[in-house]
């Protein structure tokens, strides 16, 4: 389909990496038996945008990510990806989960290299792995075993494994949910940095409203299978924790999650 690039916020179009993809979701529904989990989701995400998805436990956030990843079929509706040149795309889409899921018998570098898949020449593999480990600030741990790493470091290896193949879309399903508060904050800074440097489209599911507002260009609140609030966070990156304007947005999001407002 044709695309008017002028419709996109300028900063996003410029920020997006060449491989970043836009996501177009229309009338998306998903039921498991009689359980109507997603009940008509319409969502257009420009290439390179960082979107956070929040909502109560069980509201369908992970299901939405699995559909994005092609791991689950929608019951109805459409999902389409579009390259930055406006053509239909089949983007490289990767996901990071709450648990790092590392292979204990492989070194940090080999765990990251798993993300490249089979058949990659050794020199390319070494170069890409070294580059991504330095991106997540783990270059000096390349030869270590996962068991010697802290929780935050393990999650950085999981992030490296997802990023090593240069995804156009990165899905993150509560990736910082198991980390302690201080590690979370430093991981948020790292996530923001890699997103700004690599320019992929990011879809982050999180329970943490402050994290959503700190990282995302836009926060979508899901409730009972529908989007009940789609809130732009129009602040430059990187952001400072404790900014009162962001705290106000957090309050509005919390009210939407708790069902106090609809908008």
Residues that bind Mg ion (CB under 5 A): 62
Is 251:206 a contact under the CB 8 Å cutoff? no
Q: Which residue is nearest to Mg ion (CB)?
A: 62
Q: Give 2 or 57: the residue with its C-beta nearer to ligand ADP.
A: 57
Minimum Å gap between C-beta 43 and ligand ADP is 15
Alpha helix ranges (H) inside the chain: 10-15, 61-68, 108-113, 122-135, 151-163, 181-198, 209-215, 244-257
Closer of 100 and 225 to ligand ADP (Cβ): 225
Least distance from ligand ADP to the Cβ atom of residue 58, Å: 4
List the structure tokens of 201: 């489209």
Residue closer to ligand ADP (CB basis): 42 or 110: 42
Q: Strand, helix or coil at 239?
A: coil
**Which tokens go with 46?**
């420009």
* Short-list 106, 195, 167, CA closest to 142: 106
Binding mask 31-70 for ligand ADP (x = CB under 6 A): -x--x-x-----------------x-xxxxxxx-------
What contacts 91, CB < 8 A, 6 or more positions away?
19, 20, 21, 81, 83, 167, 168, 169, 201
- Cβ proximity to Mg ion: between 32 and 251 the closer is 32
62/188 with CB nearer Mg ion: 62
Q: Which residue has 């992030």 as its token pair? A: 159
Nearest-5° Cα angle at 162, 55 to 177: 35
Q: Give me the least distance between CB of 98 and Mg ion, in Å please.
A: 9
Minimum distance, C-beta of residue 220 to ligand ADP, in the bound complex (Å): 12
Q: Which does 32 bind (CB under 5 to 8 A by kind): ligand ADP, Mg ion, none?
A: ligand ADP
Q: How far is the CB of 130 from Mg ion (least distance, A)?
A: 33
Residue ranges binding ligand ADP (CB under 6 A) = 32, 35, 37, 55, 57-63
């Amino acid at each position: 389909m044709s695309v008017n690039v002028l419709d996109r916020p300028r900063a996003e179009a410029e920020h997006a990496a060449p491989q970043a993809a836009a996501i177009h979701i229309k009338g998306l529904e998903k039921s498991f038996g009689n359980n109507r989990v997603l009940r008509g989701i319409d969502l257009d995400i420009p290439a390179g945008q960082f979107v956070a998805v929040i909502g109560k436990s069980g509201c369908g956030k992970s299901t939405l990510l699995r559909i994005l990843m092609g791991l689950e079929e929608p019951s109805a509706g459409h999902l389409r990806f579009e390259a930055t040149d406006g053509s239909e795309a089949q983007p490289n889409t990767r996901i990071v989960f709450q648990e790092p899921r590392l292979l204990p018998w492989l070194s940090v570098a080999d765990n990251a290299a798993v993300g490249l898949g089979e058949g990659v020449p050794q020199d390319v593999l070494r170069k890409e792995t070294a580059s991504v480990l330095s991106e997540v600030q783990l270059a000096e741990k390349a030869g270590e075993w996962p068991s010697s790493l802290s929780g935050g470091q393990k999650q950085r290896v999981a992030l490296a494994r997802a990023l090593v193949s240069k995804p156009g879309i990165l899905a993150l399903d509560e990736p910082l949910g198991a980390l302690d508060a201080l590690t979370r904050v430093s991981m948020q800074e790292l996530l923001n940095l890699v997103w700004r440097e690599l320019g992929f489209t990011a879809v982050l599911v999180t329970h943490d409203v402050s994290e959503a507002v700190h990282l995302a260009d836009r926060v979508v609140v899901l409730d009972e299978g529908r989007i009940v609030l789609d809130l732009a966070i129009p602040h430059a990156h990187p952001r400072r924790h404790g900014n009162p304007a962001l705290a106000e947005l957090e309050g509005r999001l919390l009210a939407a999650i708790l069902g106090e407002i609809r908008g």
